[in-house]
Chain A
Amino acid sequence: MHALRRNVMRSVLTCLGIIIGIAAVIAMMEIGQGSSSLIETTMSKMGADNLIVFPGQSASGGVSYGIGSAVTLTPDDCQAILRECTAVRNAAPIVRANAQVIYGNRNWSPQNINGTTPAYLDIHDWTQLAEGDMFTDQDVRNVSKVCVIGQTVARELFEDEDPLGKELRVQNVSFKVVGVLGAKGANMMGWDQDDVLLAPWTTIKYRVNNSGSSSTSKASSSSITDQVNTLNQLYPNQSVQLYPQLSTVQQADQPQPVRFTNVSQVLVAANNPEEIPLAMRQIEELLRERHRLHADQPDDFHIRDLTEFTKAMSSMTSTMTNLLLCVALISLIVGGVGIMNIMLVSVTERTREIGLRMAVGARARDILRQFLVEAVVLCLLGGAAGILFGRGGSFAVRKLLHWPTEVSVPAIIAAVAVSAGVGLVFGYYPAWKASQLDPIEALRYE
C-alpha cells in the first residue's frame, strides 16, 4: 500500500483505464435497467394478457391479399371463444370503420372508430368513464345509434361543451353520445389512445359501413342478420323488392354464396399473462373446428399476442445494452493491459527492493502476493472511483436527456468483482516475474 502512496500520480493514471471502463459499465447497466423497467410498466398498463384474433390471409391464385382481407371471423366465433375457452376471461368483436365524424360545423376523423361490445372496456382496463356510461349489450342487439367518445374526439368536436347527450354524424348516420372515456394517453407505438369512437358493432357494421353499398337481396342474407334485426319480427321489412323472389325449390337449385356476418378482429383477454399460450391454443383449436378446416389446411385466422410487441421491443433494447456493455468491457480489458504495463515497469524499477526483501527473508510467494495485492488494490480503488463516476453519469443522463435510469445493485457488485478480477488477471504476470527474480542478481541491479 505504501508503494501505491509513494507515487500517487502514477497510481491514478494507471487505474484511469479501469475507472473509465467501470464508469461506462455502471452507466450502461443503469440505463438498460431503466429502459426495461419502463417497458415492463408500459406492458402491464397496455394489458399484457390481451390477444387479437385477425381473419386469415386470403389468396387468389397464389397471390396473398394480406391479413384481414378475408372474411372468416364471425361474432359467433367471438361468443364461442368466450363460452368454451377456459383460459379466456373476456372477448369482444371489433368492426373497424374509417369515417369522418361531424358535429355542427366541426369535423374530425378519429384514428379509431371501433364497433364493439361493452367487454371492450373491460379488456382494455378502461372501465372508468369520465362522463356518462358505456353502451350496453342491449344496444348491440338493438343496433342502437349510440356511441362513446375518447377525450381527443371530445375536445376536437365539442371543445368546452359537454358532449353528453349530443348528436354526432358518422357517415350521415346520427349517433347520440352516451359517454366520454377517461384519458389514457399514447400507447407504446405512439398512437393516441384517446382518439377513438366506440359504438355497438352492429350499428357500425350495418348502418355505417353498409350505408354506401346497395341493399342486398333478402334471399341470400343469413339467418344471423335476421336474428340481429329483432324489429324485423314486429315490423317485417317493407323494402321494395327489385328482383323477383326465388322460390324454395329454385333456391336449392341455385345455391347462392352465403355471406357471413364478419368482424374485423376479435379482441380477447386471457385470465392472466401466464395462460396466454394456453388461451392461444384453445382459440386455435376452436376456430379450426368451427371453420371446418382439415388438418392439412392452414389457419384462416391469425392470433397475435400483444406481448410479441413488447418482447420485440425489450429484446431490441437488451441487445443494444449488451452491445454497449461489450464495448465497456473492452475498455476494461484495455485498462487491465495498462495496469499490467505499469506493474511491469514498477517491478523493474523496484528490482533492488525486491532483492533486498528476498535477502531479509521474503520467499517467492511472498513477493508474488505483495505485487498481486498491489495490483488488486489499485484496481479496486479504480473500480470504486468508476462506480461513483458511473452513477454520476447516469444521473446526468436522467436529468439532461430524460432517459429512464435505475440504480442497479447487481451492476455495482459485478463492477467490484470485475475490477478485482482485472487486477488479479493482469497483475499476475508482473507479480510472477517479480517473484522469479534471483536475489543476488536483483541486489546487483543498477
Chain B
Amino acid sequence: MELIRLNDIYKTYHVGEVDVPVLKGVSVRIERGELVALMGASGSGKSTLMNILGCLDHPTSGQHFLDGQEVSNISSDERAMVRNRKIGFVFQSFNLLPRTSALENVMMPLSYTATHLSEKEARARAVDLLGLVGLADRLDHEPSQLSGGQQQRVAIARALINHPPLLFADEPTGNLDSRTSEEVLRMFEKLNQEEGITIIIVTHDSEVARHARRIIHIRDGIIDDGVPFAKPSRHEPLASLEAVAVAK
C-alpha cells in the first residue's frame, strides 16, 4: 500500500530577483514498510527533497500525498500537525533537550499532540519505547550522561512516541563511530521488519545505504533514473526509479 507519492514536484527558490530551480520534476512512490535510503551529493537537491518529504516545506508545484492525504498546499500549522502525527524525525546531532531526562525527552512531542493523553499514559508509552530501544535502565539519565549511541536511541524512541507510519532519519550515524552506527542501523532494520514502520534514511555514506532495501539517488534536481554518470564506485549500484532490490 502506498504511503508517499510525489507527482512532478518542482521547487524553486527566489533569491532576490533570480529564480533558482532546485527540484525539476521529481516523481517517486514509496510503499508502506519500505526501508529506503536517499542519496545525493551536496547541491543535488537532496536536502530540499528531504524537507518536502518530511513536510517541513511545500513544493512550488506538483502534488505530494502522504498516507492518502494531499499535503502539497496545506498551511504551515497543518503541516506541523501532520508532522506530529505522521512523521518521526531522527537527526544527525540527536537534538535532545539538554538537562532533561531521557523519559521527558521522549515525551516531549506529546505536548503538541491534539489528542491529549493523561500523564500516566504518556509516561507508560515513553517507558515502553525506551524499553524497545534498549534503554529501560536509563530513564532518568540526562543527555550529558548518555553516550552518542544511547542519545540517538533516545531520539529514535522520541520519534516513535506518536506511533507515526513514517520515520525520517537525516544522517543518523553521522556523529557515531562505526560500531555504534551498526547498532543504530540494526535498530532501524528491526523497527522496519518487526513494527512495519516505513523508514527513509538520508545519507551520503554508501555503507549506510547498504542497509536499506532500496536506494533513491537524486542529482541536479531530478531523481536519477538509472543513467550512469561519472565513475562507478565499487559500492554503489545504479538505481532506477522503480528499483526495489539492491544487492546487499
Contact = CB atoms under 8 A, between A and B. Distances in A.
A331 B16 CA distance: 44
Q: How large is the interface on B (under 10, 10 to 19, 20 to 34, 35 or more residues)?
A: 20 to 34
Contact of B99 (A2, A359, A360): A2
B86 to A, nearest CB: 10
Interface stretch (B73-81, B199-207, B214-222, B227-235): B73-81
Nearest to A7: B99
9 contacts: A6-B99, A352-B95, A356-B89, A358-B80, A360-B112, A361-B162, A363-B80, A363-B81, A366-B80
A155 B104 CA distance: 82
Contact of A361 (B51, B57, B81, B100): B81
Interface of B: 51, 54, 56-57, 76-77, 80-81, 83-85, 89, 91, 93, 95, 97-100, 104, 108-109, 111-113, 158, 162
A131 B195 CA distance: 105
B108 A360 contact: yes
Given A357-B108, A361-B109, A362-B80, 5 more contacts: A356-B91, A356-B95, A359-B56, A364-B77, A366-B80
B83 A359 contact: yes
Contact of A362 (B57, B97, B100, B112): B112
By size class, the interface of chain A is 20 to 34
A360 B89 CA distance: 7
Contacts of B93: 352
Contacts of A366: 80, 111-112
A364 B109 contact: no
A304 B113 CA distance: 74
A224 interface: no
A432 to B, nearest CB: 15
Contact of A2 (B51, B81, B100): B100
Task: From A359, A362, A440, name the one whose CB has the most chain B CB atoms within 10 angstroms.
Answer: A359
Interface of A: 2, 5-6, 352-353, 355-366, 439-440, 443
A360 B112 CA distance: 8
Contacts of A5: 99
Nearest to B57: A440
Given A360-B89, A361-B80, A361-B112, A353 B56 contact: no
A439 B81 contact: no
B83 A361 contact: yes
A358 to B, nearest CB: 7
A363 B95 contact: no
A327 B97 CA distance: 41
A93 B98 CA distance: 85
Contacts of A6: 98-99
B113 A361 contact: yes
B99 A440 contact: no
A353 B108 CA distance: 11
Which 6 residue pairs are nearest across A and B when measured between Cβ atoms?
Answer: A361-B84, A360-B109, A361-B112, A363-B80, A356-B95, A363-B77
Contacts of A365: 77
Given A440-B51, A440-B56, A359 B98 contact: no
